[in-house]
């Protein structure tokens, strides 16, 4: 396994510190000493990305699609070595890693298929009217072009699907942007293996050198330097609010600010409506005990807040959920830091005024476990204390007992931006659209009678939302439309046809759907 930084096609030695992967299940040191990138490596990688941008963006859609597919193939070829390493570095079971690998390959292949169709180019043509009065109308043609080199930050909780060859990388490469990945320090070996796969694919597909680089750091300085570098045009990040905001602030303070799409998680509020609680309290409790503890609660869509109207039904639900949850075994979290923070923050919640413990899994004397916990509080206390609105990343959820349905609306009003909001209700509960409508103001995705965990990768998915769920509610991090984060429109006025990009010429040789004088059509002009 290569432990040096990958700068274009070259693996380079760095002069400074080293770090290594750790198995969170036993804190054991894993093979490989990874080199923290230095200033020279950061500059060189950015320069190579910039230098190859013109060439890479001119690659044909088909060549770029083949490149994405070849990355998927190369990742598959890594076989069990990748699964084992990812599992060792994250504590996630092999089956989960295999599933996540499937999603990662699917994402790469979905982007390949999408860019072959060409809809992401959004071609629009308004033909000239030379004899228009009082002045002639020029010929205008517009399409989306790639922004430039994109920095992607690997996420700890998706070591494959939102890491080196994850959704952000796939979207940026599909758009025509070179990618610079800052590997997550908790899974350097997984990153190295996937980086090798991308490198092999880039070389065998004759992509220009610089289209991909992979840099290591177990601190913050490499990431900060990348986001501040003048060659960089955009940033994709999935992680904590503190981390995402820090990168956003660096980007906003640049001489030339650049867009940062940071997906920073959420408490994913759930609203239990009265009839549903009467009719299927047990079923809901069972589903939620699973959802809260799925993947040791380490999903950005983990349900961290559950709202219901105080009373016997809610009490029954709370009891049932507590019982189910207490049966769930504590399991290993992604890394020491996450486990420590989870333990601190969940216990800290218990020290807040009015917060009561409902249930907690048994204590087990083992490293880095996430011990599932449910707490409860009343709505008055919830509204008073902003700490209770914060995400506790891990297998934790707090049930907010509201005095009335009207008080539930006040809680919605007080919520910050969220990735998701869930409504559990029967037909009788859902007559009043106010709750749905108010909740839709705060979220990117509204879920009915389900759990927020599980993010379907499809065009109609929205994964993002008002701040602090993300830094820009206008974009999604999941699905083919996530490519929009990394593209910009360029218009051509009175451009001679042979000089136009192929997709904008009169003859529609690529067969891409275009809007021509207001009509959506596959025809040539």
Which residues make beta-bridge pairs with 29? 22
Least Å from the CB of residue 491 to a second copy: 4
Smaller CB distance to a second copy: residue 348 or 497? 497
Question: SS3 sequence, 323-336?
Answer: HHHHHCCCEECCCH
Least Å from the CB of residue 216 to a second copy: 29
Q: The tokens of 467 are what?
A: 């701040």
Which of 141, 229, 407, 505 is close enough to bind a second copy by CB under 8 A? 141
- Contacting a second copy within 486-515 (CB under 8 A): 487-496, 499, 513, 515
Which residues make beta-bridge pairs with 22? 29
CA 105/CA 457 separation, integer angstroms: 12
Smaller CB distance to a second copy: residue 3 or 470? 470
Which of 107, 157, 240, 476 is close enough to bind a second copy by CB under 8 A? 476
Least Å from the CB of residue 292 to a second copy: 18
CA 342/CA 359 separation, integer angstroms: 16
Contact between 124 and a second copy by CB under 8 A: the answer reads yes
DSSP conformation class of 247 = H
Q: The tokens of 490 are what?
A: 């360029």
Least Å from the CB of residue 369 to a second copy: 27
Smaller CB distance to a second copy: residue 322 or 425? 425
Contact between 126 and a second copy by CB under 8 A: the answer reads yes
In this structure, how many other beta carbons lie within 10 angstroms of the beta carbon of residue 411? 18
User: Which among 5-13, 140-148, 281-289, 313-321 is the span making contact with a second copy, rule CB under 8 A?
Assistant: 140-148
Which x/- pattern, by CB under 8 A, does the window 29-58 give for a second copy?
Answer: ------------------------xx---x
Concerning whether 329 is annotated as a catalytic residue, the answer is no
Least Å from the CB of residue 459 to a second copy: 5
φ, ψ at 49 (rounded to 5°): -65, -45
Smaller CB distance to a second copy: residue 138 or 405? 138
Do 150 and 232 meet the contact criterion of CB atoms below 8 Å apart? yes
Q: Give the position of tokens 């919520």.
A: 415
Number of residues that bind a second copy (CB under 8 A): 75
Smaller CB distance to a second copy: residue 350 or 458? 458
Contact between 473 and a second copy by CB under 8 A: the answer reads yes
Concerning whether 519 is annotated as a catalytic residue, the answer is no
- Contacting a second copy within 425-464 (CB under 8 A): 427, 430, 433, 436-438, 440-441, 443-450, 454, 456, 458-462, 464
Least Å from the CB of residue 102 to a second copy: 10
Q: Give the position of tokens 């009003």.
A: 413
Q: Rounded to the nearest 5 degrees, what angle is found at the Cα of 150, between the Cα atoms of 149 and 152?
A: 150
CA 228/CA 205 separation, integer angstroms: 30
Do 324 and 286 meet the contact criterion of CB atoms below 8 Å apart? yes
Nearest alpha carbon to residue 421 among 379, 382, 466, 388: 466
φ, ψ at 197 (rounded to 5°): -60, -45
Smaller CB distance to a second copy: residue 32 or 138? 138
Q: The tokens of 274 are what?
A: 């009265």
- Contacting a second copy within 55-94 (CB under 8 A): 58
**Where in the sequence numbering do the catalytic residues fall?**
263, 300
């Amino acid at each position: 396994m290569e432990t040096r930084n990958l700068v274009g096609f070259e693996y380079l030695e760095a002069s400074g510190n080293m770090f290594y992967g750790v198995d969170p299940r036993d804190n054991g040191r894993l093979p490989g000493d990874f080199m923290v990138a230095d200033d020279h490596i950061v500059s060189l990688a950015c320069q190579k990305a910039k230098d190859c941008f013109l060439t890479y963006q001119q690659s044909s859609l088909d060549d770029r699609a083949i490149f994405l597919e070849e990355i998927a193939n190369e990742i598959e070829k890594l076989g069990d070595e990748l699964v084992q390493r990812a599992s060792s570095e994250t504590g996630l079971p092999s089956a989960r890693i295999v599933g996540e690998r499937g999603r990662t390959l699917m994402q790469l292949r979905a982007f390949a298929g999408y860019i072959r169709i060409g809809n992401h180019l959004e071609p629009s043509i308004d033909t000239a009217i030379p004899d228009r009065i009082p002045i002639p109308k020029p010929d205008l043609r517009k399409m989306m072009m790639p922004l430039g080199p994109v920095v992607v930050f690997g996420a700890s909780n998706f070591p494959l699907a939102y890491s080196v060859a994850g959704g952000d990388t796939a979207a940026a490469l599909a758009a025509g942007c070179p990618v610079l990945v800052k590997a997550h320090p908790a899974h350097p070996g997984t990153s190295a293996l996937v980086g090798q796969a991308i490198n092999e694919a880039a070389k065998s597909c004759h992509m220009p050198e610089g289209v991909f680089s992979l840099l290591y750091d177990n601190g913050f300085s490499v990431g900060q330097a990348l986001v501040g570098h003048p060659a960089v045009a955009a940033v994709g990040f999935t992680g904590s609010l503190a981390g995402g905001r820090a990168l956003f602030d660096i980007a906003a303070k640049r001489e030339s600010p650049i867009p940062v799409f940071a997906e920073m998680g959420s408490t994913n509020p759930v609203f239990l409506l009265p009839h549903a609680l009467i009719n299927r309290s047990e079923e809901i409790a069972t589903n939620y005990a699973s959802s809260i503890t799925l993947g040791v609660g380490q999903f950005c869509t983990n349900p961290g807040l559950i709202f219901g109207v105080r009373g016997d039904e809610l009490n029954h639900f709370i009891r049932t959920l507590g019982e189910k949850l207490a049966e769930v075994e504590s399991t290993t979290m992604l890394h020491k830091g996450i486990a420590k923070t989870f333990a601190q923050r969940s216990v800290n919640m218990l020290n807040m005024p009015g917060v009561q413990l409902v249930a907690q899994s048994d204590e087990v004397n083992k490293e880095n476990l996430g011990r599932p916990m449910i707490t409860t509080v009343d709505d008055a206390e919830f509204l008073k204390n902003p700490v209770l609105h914060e995400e506790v990343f891990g297998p934790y959820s707090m049930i907010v007992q509201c005095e009335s349905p009207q008080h539930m609306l006040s809680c919605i009003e007080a919520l910050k931006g969220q990735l998701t909001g869930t409504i559990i209700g029967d037909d009788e509960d859902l007559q009043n659209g106010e709750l749905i409508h108010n909740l839709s103001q705060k979220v990117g995705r509204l879920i009915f009678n389900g759990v927020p965990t599980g993010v379907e990768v499809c065009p109609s998915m929205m994964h993002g939302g008002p701040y602090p769920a993300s830094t820009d509610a206008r974009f999604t991090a999941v699905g083919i439309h996530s490519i929009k984060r990394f593209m910009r429109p360029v218009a051509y006025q009175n451009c001679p046809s042979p000089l136009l990009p192929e997709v904008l010429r009169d003859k529609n040789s690529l067969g891409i759907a275009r809007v021509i004088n207001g009509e959506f059509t596959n025809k040539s002009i």
